[in-house]
Structure 1
Amino acid sequence: MVQVPEIPRGIPPRRPGDRGRRISDRHVRRARGKRERYPRHGDDAPSPRRGLRTRLISRALPQLSRGARVDGDRYAVRHTVTATLPSALVLAAGLGTRLRPLTFCRAKAAVPVAGTPLIRRHLARLAAQGVRDIVVNLHHRPDTIAALVGDGATLGCRVRYSWEPVLLGSAGGPRHALTLLDNQFFLVNGDTLCDVDLAALLGAHLARRARVTLVVTSNPDPQRYGGIISDANGWVTGFTRAGDARDAAHFVGVQIVDASVFEPLPDGVPTASIGGLYDTLLAKPEQVAAHNVDGRFHDIGTPADYLDTTRAVDAAEGQPSVSFGLRSVAHPSAQLERSVLWDDVTIEAGCVVTDSIITDGVRLVEGTTLNRQAVVLAPASLEEATALPGAIRIGELLAVPI
């Protein structure tokens, strides 16, 4: 492993004298042993027990950057762990372009939802269902994720990282991380939340002898979301784009896949799954299956989606309608409604903040009024930031309509 300046502390570099073949530039080395194989049908899946090279594990919590801090036991969770399931890859490398300006501050998976960072929600849910080994891929603002997660010990799992110097996409990312994953593994999008029974998903995948099984639900908005078309037996026959009039289910961002699907891809080459690799699989019958669920689904694609999701989770978990991050304070005379305050936020006297998102380190001066605004510290790349529709520079702050 070659040391990369952007990699956060806690993702150890390859040391001189390490043995083993390096798969690709700036990537983890191949584990020499065979991956544990789960049965294709019938027998119960055994617990994977593979030898792990300790230098591939983030042992120390990385240096914390502003807006991605863990104070004491703030994010600690209690776990009731069931039988061990296959490993998982959480896709968290994306730029989060649609979520700007929020992703000028943090990676998309690091944003707080009802007081808990999204990435920690994903990992806690995976661990609670028995997923012990988890890989998180990183590219944009990797420090904001690694600082919240570390080696995963506080979440009841072991977390390792797959660094992508170049974004590799929804299929290229898994290909790059294969050496850290089992022969079957869960693949989870880092920007959605959905309740999925992973043991049931694994069972359905093995029983069908599918190569990919996608978790789907009814499409909440076909004009906005593409969909998945399947036959009467649940085999996927095609994919639709947003606005397609055909009856198609909605992919919720959780799947289980066979590693062999990605192995033929060249490592380090950006590749898509839906709209690329998976479309190729459909040339043969019974390769990709659909697994229907009725669980709650939340998207965090845009600032408006993020605000809606935070409100829904706040309500479901009995949280107040205004979320306060770590060390955030508001003057008693300030009026706050249905808003989210990240870490180190200060709201001075007489401010009125409604349906807004105030991100890390922002100070609203006395008498500021905001309605449906996302406010961030102005990023270094002002040209890119001010190009956002309706963006206004206010001193050291940037405000963008939601």
Structure 2
Amino acid sequence: MRAKAALPVAGEALVLRILRWLKRSGVTRVVLNLHHRAETITREVGDGAAIGLDLRYSWETAILGSAGGPARAIPLLDADRFLIVNGDTLAAVDLNDLAARHVDTNALVTMAAVDGDPRYNGIIADDAGRIRAFGRDPGALHFIGVQAVNAAAFAGVSVETRSETVHGIYPDLIARSPGALRVVRTGVEFFDIGTPRDYLETASTIAAREGKLLDRGLHSTVASDARVDSSILWNQVTVGPGASLIRCVVADGVTVPAGARYEGCSLVATDRGMIAVPF
């Protein structure tokens, strides 16, 4: 398996797409938080020199959460203000505009968002963009994984134990300093790979726009009479004769038996053989 940020999207690992976007936006220094399957990310990124970034890694031996992770990375950044960008989303936010609004409002945290879905929790803010709460509301906005923050927002956060932002320190900041958290409503397109279904939809959309095929990884083979339709194959995948894959994500090392048929599934190799998980 791979870390989400290392998943291929139209021929390029998601983390590389994010880093190239940051570089184009004028970012020069980056710290990547690493925990789950860290080697799958470092293998793609290396030292960042190929992208032209001053890149460092912050290694989490235990998951520190959305607050603890940034708190641990702050000494490596050595900056009073910085951006936090999720590694499992794509959203071409205007970072210069976000940073300018963050400074102009004297906020501790400024979150980029799009119109939300009232069925889900979101950002509840007033007309001036001051965040009041997080929760379910008809007018709630959806956070898209990009935010400008002050290091002071993480003052006192432990770098040894897990802690969260939206479900932890951010509500506390709102209570102590009303107006310290702001939201910028954007009109950008937002892509998420949080679930296999989201991942497949994101990869399919981007591949179509860039005139590419869906990913077929290194050393993967497909029998001449097999059907592979709207599916992603990672490395060292073998699809046997007469097999059929429709809207599937096939992980590294999977062998799809001859004549097998799968639709809307993740296929994963385990010590006990291949397993199929519908999505």
1:65-120 superposed Cα distances (whole Å, 9 cap, x missing partner):
xxxxxxxxxxxxxxxxxxxxxxxxxxxxxxxxxxxxxxxx1111111122211111
CA distance in 2: counterparts of 1:378 and 1:222, whole angstroms: 39
Structure 1 residue 347 corresponds to structure 2 residue 239: yes
Correspondent of 2:181 among 285, 288, 295: 288
- Supply the AA of the counterpart residue of 2:38: P
Specify the SS of the correspondent of 1:324: coil
2:20 paired with 1:128: no
* Number of aligned positions between the proteins: 277
Once the two structures are superposed, the pairs formed by residues 177-256 of structure 1 within 5 Å of their partners are 177-181=73-77, 182-219=79-116, 221-223=117-119, 225-240=120-135, 244-256=136-148
Check whether the contact 2:124–2:137 (CA below 8 A) recurs between aligned residues: no
Matches of 1:245 and 1:229, distance apart in 2: 7
- Report what 1:273 is aligned to: 165
CA distance in 2, matches of 1:267, 1:401: 37
Q: Equivalent residue of 2:110, what SS?
A: strand
1:308 deviation in Å?
1.4
2:204 match: 311
Structure 1 position 177, deviation (Å): 0.8
1:141 aligned partner: 37
Instruction: Give 4+ residue runs of structure 1 displaced > 6 Å after superposition.
Output: none
The AA in structure 1 aligned to 2:106 is R
Q: Which amino acid aligns with 1:261?
A: A
% identical equivalent positions: 41
Per the alignment, residue 190 of structure 2 pairs with 297
- One-letter amino acid of the structure 1 residue matched with residue 153 of structure 2: V
Give, in angstroms, the shift of residue 203 of structure 1.
Answer: 0.9
The verdict on how the C-alpha distance between 1:130 and 1:245 changes in structure 2, with shifts beyond 3 A counting, is: closer
1:106 alignment partner AA: R
Q: Does 1:397 align with 2:279?
A: no
Unmatched 5+ stretches in structure 1: 1-104, 380-394
Task: Kindly indicate whether residue 6 of structure 2 is the aligned counterpart of residue 106 of structure 1.
Answer: no
Which deviates more from structure 2 when the two are superposed, residues 244-253 or residues 162-171? 244-253
Match of 2:255 among 360, 363, 367: 363
Structure 1 SS opposite 2:133: strand
Q: 1:223-266 CA distances to partner (integer Å, 9 max, x unpaired)?
A: 2x3110111111111111xxx34310110010010011112223
Q: Which amino acid aligns with 2:182?
A: A
Distance 1:245 1:129, change over 3 A: closer
For the aligned residue pairs, the C-alpha RMSD in angstroms reads 1.4
What SS does the corresponding residue of 2:112 show, helix, strand or coil? strand
Residue 254 of structure 1 aligns to a residue in which SS? strand
Q: Distance in 1 between matches of 2:59 and 2:124?
A: 33
Is the counterpart of residue 151 in structure 1 residue 47 in structure 2?
yes
Cα displacement (A) at 1:291: 0.9
1:260 equivalent among 149, 152, 162: 152
Letter in 2 for 1:348: G
> Match for residue 330 of structure 1?
222
- List aligned pairs for 1:27-46, cutoff 5 A: none
C-alpha deviations, 1:162-207, integer Å up to 9, x for none?
1111111101111111101121111011111111111111111111
- How far apart in 2 are the matches of 1:179 and 1:280? 23
SS at 1:185 equivalent: strand
Larger relative helix fraction: 2
Go from structure 1 to structure 2 and tell me whether the alpha carbon gap of 1:286 and 1:245 turns closer, same or farther (over 3 Å shift): closer
Q: CA deviation at 1:210?
A: 0.9
Superimposed CA distance per residue, residues 34-87 of structure 1 (whole angstroms, 9 cap, x where no aligned partner):
xxxxxxxxxxxxxxxxxxxxxxxxxxxxxxxxxxxxxxxxxxxxxxxxxxxxxx
Task: Report the Cα distance in structure 2 between the residues aligned to 1:119 and 1:317, rounded to whole angstroms.
Answer: 18
Q: Any conservation in 1 of the 2:89–2:144 contact (CA below 8 Å)?
A: yes
TM-score by length of 2: 0.95
The equivalences for 1:46-61 within 5 A come to none
How many angstroms apart in 2 are the aligned matches of 1:142 and 1:192? 18
Q: 1:372 aligns with which of 260, 264, 272?
A: 264
Distance 1:214 1:169 in 2: 17
Unaligned runs of 5+ in 2: none
